[in-house]
Structures are given as structure tokens and as C-alpha cells.
A = this chain, B = another copy of it.
Amino acid sequence: MHERTVQFGHERLITKLQSIAELRDADLAALRTLPINVKSVPANTEIVTEGDRPTECCLLLEGLVCRSRTTLEGRRQILSFHTPGDIPDLQSLHLHVMDHTVATLPSCTLGFILHSKLRAVTRDYPNIAAAMWRDTLIDAAIFREWMLGLGRRSAEQRMAHLLCEMARRLEAVGLQQDGIYELAVTQIDLADALGLSNVHVNRVLQKLRTEGLLRLDRSTVSILDWEGLSRLGEFEALYLHQNPSV
């Protein structure tokens, strides 16, 4: 990968952090000095596995990553989706053994950053530390929202909510426009994220399509009726905490 694209990695990270926290020029400069080891990873590949003790974090540059846990009987629950700019395993900075797995969905380009370098930058730049702490807290806020869905919302509502959430999150990093975005997941992945079966995911998607709420071509989602979809899913973006100054 070229020098230009490596720097693009820093900009992805900066865009993401600036979408949730206020950073000064000195902070940005410090982030740009972080050594990032860029790699291409094929689809459906585990990056870090439950039980691992990683010494680096991975920054997603292109593609889509998920975190998941699996039951002894092999039932998988996807815990989160991650979009470019995210560091899906940032928690490993302070939780040294992985309690879940991080994996690519489509093929991805990832940037690996040593824990030691990240720790140094959080030690020397309190704003960066605060931004990253805040990032992990938003991560947890999304978990809470998903818990409400898994425990108390219907299949249809969960799907609507998820599609609204991904739209808003991708928008914040410039990867969504007019309700149209890439979401390279299978219906099985959606099922595992929503706590449903793939068959029922299919039923729900049929319903949302015939109701004119959305369209799906390959892996691109088009939300045709934002108002209707967000009302159905009771989507309120507060929990994403996307306002950096609040």
C-alpha cells in the first residue's frame, strides 16, 4: 500500500474522532505521527479471537468489521458493526484478554497500531485520551440501544432501527448520502446481529420493501422513507452522541 493511502489512514481516524470530540491542532499532529501498519484482509476472516492477548489495535480503513460472541452450541451473536475510522478493539488497551472476536465481513483494509504507541499518545495528549475514552463509551451506548432492541422490540422494529443507525453512523464519516449506503452483509449476518433467524430476516425485509420503506440492491441499502422507517424503529439518534461539543 502506498504512502498516500497510509496517510489516508490517519485522516480516517481523525475524521472519526472529530465526529465525536473536539481536538486541537496539536492533537491532530500527534495522531498523524502514530505508526500505522496497513494490511488487506480477505472477507470473513477473524482479526482477533476470544482469548487472545493482542499487543496492537486495529483501525478500520475500508470495508466493514463486526464483533461477535458465540454460544457453546454455536449460535452467534453479532455485538457491533464497525465502519471506517473505527477502532473495534480499542477496549483491548485496558482489557488485556479478548472476551469476544473481531472479524471482517467483506474484505477490508486495516491499519494496525501498537498498544504502546496508543498508550503513549493518550498519556501525553489528554484530549486524545478523552476522545478515545468517549469513543469506547459511545460503543457501550450502542450496546445499550441494541439490548433494548433484543429484549423489547419486534423483529421489524429491530431491523428498521439498525438500518437507521448505520445510515447515521456512516453519514458522520462521509459514507452515506440521501439514505443510500453500502452495507456488505448477508441476511445471516443481519440475523446474527438482530437475534433472529435468517428466514425471519428475509420475511421482515420483504415486508419493509413492499411497504416502500427501503430498497436493497446487492449490498447497497436505500432508505426510501426515512420518516417512516425511523418511526417504525423508534430511532432517536441521541444515543450515538455525535455532537462533539456535547
Contacts and interface: CB of A to CB of B under 8 A. Distances in A.
Interface of A: 51, 67, 69, 71-72, 75-77, 79, 91, 94-97, 99-100, 123, 126, 129-130, 133-134, 136-141, 143-148, 150-153, 192, 194-195, 234, 238-239, 241, 246
Contacts of A145: 69, 99
27 contacts: A51-B238, A69-B144, A69-B145, A69-B148, A71-B148, A71-B152, A75-B152, A77-B147, A77-B152, A79-B144, A79-B147, A79-B148, A91-B140, A96-B246, A97-B238, A100-B144, A123-B126, A136-B136, A136-B137, A136-B140, A140-B140, A140-B143, A143-B144, A150-B151, A151-B192, A151-B194, A151-B195
A153 B69 contact: no
B138 A140 contact: no
A17 to B, nearest CB: 13
Contacts of A134: 94-95
A114 to B, nearest CB: 17
Given A95-B241, A238-B97, A238-B99, A143 B147 contact: yes
Q: How many copies of the shown chain assemble into the complex?
A: 2
Nearest to A140: B140
A147 B77 CA distance: 7
Contact of A152 (B76, B133, B146): B76
A193 to B, nearest CB: 8
B94 A144 contact: no
Given A91-B141, A97-B246, 11 more contacts: A69-B148, A71-B148, A71-B153, A72-B234, A77-B152, A79-B144, A94-B130, A95-B241, A97-B238, A100-B144, A147-B147
Residue of A51, A129, A145, A150 with most partner-chain B CB within 10 A: A150
A137 B95 contact: yes
A152 B193 CA distance: 10
Nearest to A53: B246
A240 B123 CA distance: 25
B147 A239 contact: no
A151 B141 CA distance: 17
A137 B94 contact: yes
A99 to B, nearest CB: 4
